[in-house]
Amino acid sequence: MMWQAATPRLVLASASPSRRALLEQAGLRFAVQPAAVDETEAKRGARAAGMSAQDTALLLADLKAERVAGHDPDLLVIGSDQLLVCADRWFDKPIDLADAREHLRALRGRTHELATAVVCRRGGQMVWHHLARPRLTMRAFSEEFLEDYLAGEGMALTTTVGAYRLEGLGVHLFDRVEGEHAAILGLPLLPLLGFLRQHGVLR
């Protein structure tokens, strides 16, 4: 992209295909380097410390960026994380289709929030962060629909925190969606692009 500066080099500290696709569709040049973070342990510690889901998402996003960034001033590392919260329950990615079925039954007919955090680090320092909080209301779909949906999406559902892909068949699950589409997919893109312009990465 002609309006992206040569330095700093952008790195996405995530293995998420959705986040990678969002940056690619925006025309950015970047490398992908997933960070090895024990998210389960970090979430357990955060809950024990009384942290909110929103603060925990920011913590996890920063841990990922920190692992990759080191102290290299030539890198601008993007870390992101997303937690799904319904009532007081935090949802993790389902481990299999049976788990996905249970998640969707628990979310059916209810409104949930996605705490979607993004952090940028450069030279060992956090230079920017943002938290988006999209709200989604699932319709009261039937058991027959649920089984057809699970069969249609298959194991792809285990890659998403809510057992749905809004960019695919998951759109049929909802009555109402509030928030930036990219933030629902896992990365608040418009605020990130705004920061990259302010930081001189983009013109």
- Structure-derived torsion over alpha carbons of residues 62, 67, 70, 76, reported in degrees to the nearest 10: -50
Token readout for 23 is 């940056």
- Structure-derived torsion over alpha carbons of residues 130, 89, 184, 186, reported in degrees to the nearest 10: 60
Token readout for 99 is 């788990």
Q: Which of 62, 81, 88, 92 is catalytic?
A: 81
Q: Rounded to whole angstroms, how far apart are CA atoms 21 and 73?
A: 25
Write out the DSSP string of 20-53.
HHHHHHTT---EE------HHHHHHHHHHTT--H
Question: DSSP letter at 201?
Answer: S
Q: Rounded to whole angstroms, how far apart are CA atoms 43 and 57?
A: 9
Active site residue 72: no
Instruction: List the catalytic residues.
Output: 81
